[in-house]
Every structure is written in structure tokens, then in C-alpha cells.
Structure 1
Amino acid sequence: MKLRTALLLLATLADKADIRCHSCYKLPVLGCVDRKSCRLEPGQQCLTTHAYIGKMWVFSRLDCGTPGEPCKPAVNQTNQKGGLTYNTTCCSQDNCNSPAPRPTPALTLVFLTSLAGLGLWLLH
């Protein structure tokens, strides 16, 4: 009986030690850029930070908390220099900070083409 309890405890600890989080910068239209996965360190949480200017969403950051930069939940935290407002949420389950699905290639192509056209127009 003691062996079974010890094995169950080890299995539970092994599961918690292999929690993964999504890691990327999420931008309007483009979605997650530089999409990766990170393994959560013991005692840490996955984080998702959304940045806004006023009520307009500007970008999001998804990542693993670390001992040097642990996840700290925050609502309407304002950066005085940039005028951005941040909301941060924390979670500790596997892939709990899931990003939105990848944008369709056609939508990305339209956005990049429009951006290039705007750049050419500004140069004239």
C-alpha cells in the first residue's frame, strides 16, 4: 500500500513538473508571432498580459513565469511613460494561456500587402 501511494505521489509530481505554457507576442491581424512553448518551473505560473491604449487592444504577451519575473495578476495597471494599460492573468494548467488560432495565410498576405502599399504611398 505504501509503494502504491509513493508511486501515485511521484506521478502527480511528474505531471506538475511538465506543465507547458504558450509563449509568443500576439499582434492584431498577425496573431501570435514567434510562437513557442515553454516548460513551467516549479512554483511558477503561465502568464498572459494584454496591453491597451484606451480601450483599443495593442498586443498580448504569453509566456512562462520565472523566479526573476513571476506572474503577478494585474487589472488596469498603467505605464506612465507609454500610456499603455496592462491586464495580466495567471494560470497553472498545461497550455492554459492558449493563444487564438493562427490567422489564415490569406489574411496575413492582405495585411502585409496593405502595409507595403501604405509604405510606398508614403514614400511618394
Structure 2
Amino acid sequence: MTESFQSNKPIYIQLADRIKKQIIRKELLPGEKLPSVREFGVKMGVNPNTVQRTYRELEGENIVESKRGQGTFISEDETILSAMREQQKHSEISLFVQNMFEMGYNEKEVLEGLNKFLNRLDGGTKN
């Protein structure tokens, strides 16, 4: 199955972002083995060198670790995974707020709109 990619961002970064989101959603768990470079490349429809670069990028962020002869595994360090989760949340919120401000909404309007949206999601009850 070939995936679709955005043309404005390197594919290896998009793959790394997808893996991070799978970790955040707990589809990939700490200590879990990632597919081999070749297997993941075939699945995603990309060159194995691109997958290797993705894994190197994630390894540089300590999100995964390579074990020679065994493969690449999700980090078991909860501190690193929690920090990655917080960073991803901050990035998404930052992008959302920036887009809202660019459209001309002020902080009060953004907060009111977000509160209304969240209240609809949970049926109007707050946790």
C-alpha cells in the first residue's frame, strides 16, 4: 500500500511524524519493534534509504533505538516519550493559534470558540 505525502515537507520527516503520532495514540508501545527498513519501505511505497533516514532522525531524538542485528525499537524511557508527546501537543496548538490569529480572530474569540467546540464534543459536560 503506497501512502500519500505532502510535497512541501521531506518524506522522511513525514514518516517520523507518523511514527510519533502512532506512539502518542499508543498504537506503538515502548519497547515495541518497528518494521525492518525494507518492510516499512515497501509498506509505505518509499525507498529503504528514506526509511533509514527516518529511523536515524527518530534515533537522534532518542525516540527509538537501534539494536545491532535485532532491529529498531521504540524507546522504553517514559521521560523521553512524555517530552515528545508534550512537544507534539505544543506544536499542534501553536499552529492552530497562529492560523486563527492570521484569520483575524483575537485571543478571546479563539478561547470562546474552542470552549464551545469542546463542550459539544463531550455533550456539554465538563470533566
Structure 1 length-normalised TM: 0.31
Structure with more contact order per residue of length (Cα contacts < 8 Å, sep ≥ 6): 1
Which has the larger Rg? 1
Structure 2 length-normalised TM: 0.31
Structure having the larger proportion of residues in strand? 1
Structure having the larger proportion of residues in helix? 2
